[in-house]
């Protein structure tokens, strides 16, 4: 049931987790820091989300150049792992939070004037970062841990977790009037269905024309 306050209803539409993530450049300056909303995917609140860092730098000192970083992956409130299923969340509460994300660098497509979703990465201008084995770099972060990005792109730290809610606020002043109208209409409909109708036949007899008399 909604929460009612002075004729205004507040509905809870959804809720989930927003991990706090900090991305630092190679010189230690902060390129991005704050909570990022991840969307739940199942009843254990295994969630998917992305992090967009449009103001990162590659390298440090005089050789540093501007670049952009994208992170894409999943959040596990209570991280667990088996060989059969891989990583998963064993419980919806944040008892053992963890992040697992792939890292990209390049152009996020934010400067071309075309709107895009905050929950997805446009990978046309991005290249996946590789680890020492030449495979796509995956950052597996427990709470409070830091991972180093290759090619002088800095570090990524999992700072903490916040909860978020999605609310709908509705105020309908004429709600009772509309309800009364619907009740009256329903009563009229029931009356037409259950009250036996009465029928009356009327026959009209008019005068004959002059021709018919002759």
pLDDT at 211: 54
Provide the pLDDT for residue 207. 66
Cα atoms in the Cβ-side hemisphere of radius 13 Å centred on 120: 6
Chain centre distance of CA 182: 35
Strands (E), 39-150: 39-40, 47-58, 65-76, 79-82, 86-89, 98-106, 126-128, 138-142, 146-148
Beta bridge partner(s), residue 146: 157
What does each C-alpha distance from 17 to 39, 96, 102, 118 come to in angstroms? 8, 13, 19, 15
From the number of C-beta atoms within 10 Å of its C-beta (0-12, 13-18, 19+), residue 190 rates as: exposed
Q: Which pLDDT score is estimated for 209? A: 56
Compute CA 191 distance to the chain's CA centroid, rounded to the nearest angstrom: 47
Distance from C-alpha of 45 to C-alpha of 61, rounded to nearest angstrom: 42
Give pLDDT, residue 152.
Answer: 92
Per the structure block, which two tokens stand in for 105? 């660098």
Residue 103, pLDDT score:
96
- Look up residue 120 and give its two tokens: 């997805």
Which regions of the chain are under pLDDT 50?
A: 213-214
Q: What share of the chain is helix, strand, coil (3-state, %, to 5)?
A: 15, 50, 40
Give the pLDDT confidence score for residue 214 in this predicted structure. 46
Question: Is the pTM above the cut of 0.85?
Answer: no
């Amino acid at each position: 049931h909604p929460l009612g306050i002075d004729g205004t209803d507040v509905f809870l539409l959804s809720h989930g987790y927003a991990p706090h993530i900090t991305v630092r450049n190679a010189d230690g300056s902060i390129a991005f820091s704050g909570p990022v909303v991840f969307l739940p995917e199942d009843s254990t609140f295994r969630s998917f989300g992305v992090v967009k860092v449009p103001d990162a730098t590659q390298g440090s000192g005089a050789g540093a150049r501007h670049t952009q970083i994208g992170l894409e992956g999943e959040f596990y409130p209570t991280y667990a792992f088996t060989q059969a299923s891989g990583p998963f969340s064993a419980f919806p509460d944040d008892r053992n939070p963890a992040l697992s994300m792939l890292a990209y660098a390049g152009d996020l497509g934010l400067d071309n004037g075309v709107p895009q979703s905050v929950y997805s990465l446009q990978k046309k201008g991005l290249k996946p970062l590789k680890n020492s084995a030449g495979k796509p770099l995956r950052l597996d972060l427990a709470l409070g841990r830091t991972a180093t990005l290759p090619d002088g792109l800095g570090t990524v730290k999992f700072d903490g977790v916040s909860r978020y809610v999605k609310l709908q606020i509705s105020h309908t002043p004429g709600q009772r009037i509309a309800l009364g109208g619907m009740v009256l209409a329903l009563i009229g409909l029931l009356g037409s269905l259950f009250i036996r109708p009465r029928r009356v036949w009327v026959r009209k007899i008019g005068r004959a024309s002059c021709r018919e008399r002759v």
